[in-house]
Amino acid sequence: MIIPGKKYMVLFFYLGALFSLIFSPFTLSVSLIALCVLAFIKWKNERGRLDFFPDIAAWRKLMPPAPNYPIYALILIFALTLLAGWPVQEWDFWLDRLRTRLPLLLLPLAVVIHPPLSTREFNGLLYAFVLMLVFTCIGVGINYATHFEAVQQMIKQGQSIPVPRNHVRFSVLMAVGVVAGIYLIQQKHYWYKPWENRVVIAMTAFLFIFIHILSVRTGLAALYLAMGALLIRYILVNKKYLTGALMMAALVLLPVIAYRMAPSFKAKVDYMRYDWYMFQQGQGGINSDSGRFASLDAGWDIVKNIRGLASARPT
């Protein structure tokens, strides 16, 4: 008899992985390893003894009768990194990239093998993730308000509001949290009481506002691309073109409103404009944005030189 404890442990480590995405690379590794290990073992309780043994039936799921293209696509990313080692021959860098992409090989296989989550379980994980982000953002906001002048000065110098771990990854997680909140609102999800759906609406709105206060461009770009795609889908599915056009116009106006109302967003935009000006003057190569512009410019020069050499080669 397979005891139900394994399912609870799988949910626990899913929850741990979501928590670790925000706070801890170490516990993220532990959670992913645990999920992979649990995928290949069964628990059997006979005569009061708990036995562990391989789950042969689960292994057979690795070769489904129909192609599982999303899984194959993730494995392909790992395979490309694996094959890139020999041409590059920067072995330390290659091994580090291979280590960071190992979950793209193992975790999709583990997810396929694990029993599928129910709708309530899946939505519950998203609900917990949104809650984690909200409480984290409250802490980040309190720290920002307490050290407002110092943090504003950091933003004006091209830095970001302090957040757990990396500000770029955190902003992308916030964008995912907003989209997850929108999904939960559509699903009318609640855990105990129906009024929780109004709490989800409030939390999603809070995350949407706070990602503009955080003002990290990667997260904002991910959020607006996702919301734009969702809005286009809404227009095409429901054929509400006028409503969709108004919502699209509102989506375009939101950054303008954020520039007027959020000091951190305004400081970030002003810094970008300053950095672009410095790049045009040839004086900003060491700054964050102008350094990227300089890299793109150098890359384009290399492409033009290669094209010139190719065209000058005698036929």
Q: pLDDT tens, 265-311? A: 888 888 888 777 776 766 655 556 666 666 677 777 777 776 665 56
Question: What confidence category does residue 1 fall into, taking pLDDT thresholds of 50, 70 and 90?
Answer: very low
Asked if 213 contacts 265 with a C-beta cutoff of 8 angstroms, the reply is yes
* pLDDT value at residue 287: 57
**Polymer length in residues for the chain:** 315
Tokens of 287: 């700054």
Q: Which range in 45-59, 72-86, 119-133, 145-159 is most confidently predicted, on average pLDDT?
A: 119-133
Q: What percent of the chain has pLDDT over 90?
A: 25
* pLDDT value at residue 89: 67
**Residues 127, 161, 165, 296: is their CA dihedral positive or negative?**
positive
Q: What percent of the chain has pLDDT over 70?
A: 77
Read off the pLDDT of each residue in 19-43 and give the average, rounded to a whole number: 84
Q: What is the pTM of this model?
A: 0.79
Read off the pLDDT of each residue in 82-92 and give the average, rounded to a whole number: 73
Higher confidence at residue 300 or residue 195? 195
**Residues 78, 82, 88, 89: is their CA dihedral positive or negative?**
positive
pLDDT at 103 over 90: no
Question: What confidence category does residue 165 fall into, taking pLDDT thresholds of 50, 70 and 90?
Answer: confident
Please state, in angstroms and rounded to a whole number, the distance separating the CA atoms of residues 220 and 13: 29
Question: What confidence category does residue 135 fall into, taking pLDDT thresholds of 50, 70 and 90?
Answer: very high
Q: Which range in 46-50, 252-256, 290-294 is most confidently predicted, on average pLDDT?
A: 252-256
Question: What confidence category does residue 48 fall into, taking pLDDT thresholds of 50, 70 and 90?
Answer: very low
Q: Write the CB contacts of 15 (distance below 8 Å, at least 6 apart in sequence).
A: 125, 128
Q: Residue 67, CB half-sphere, CA atoms under 13 Å: how many?
A: 5
pLDDT at 16 over 60: yes
* pLDDT value at residue 182: 93
With H, G, I as helix, E, B as strand and everything else as coil, classify residue 66.
coil
With H, G, I as helix, E, B as strand and everything else as coil, classify residue 52.
strand
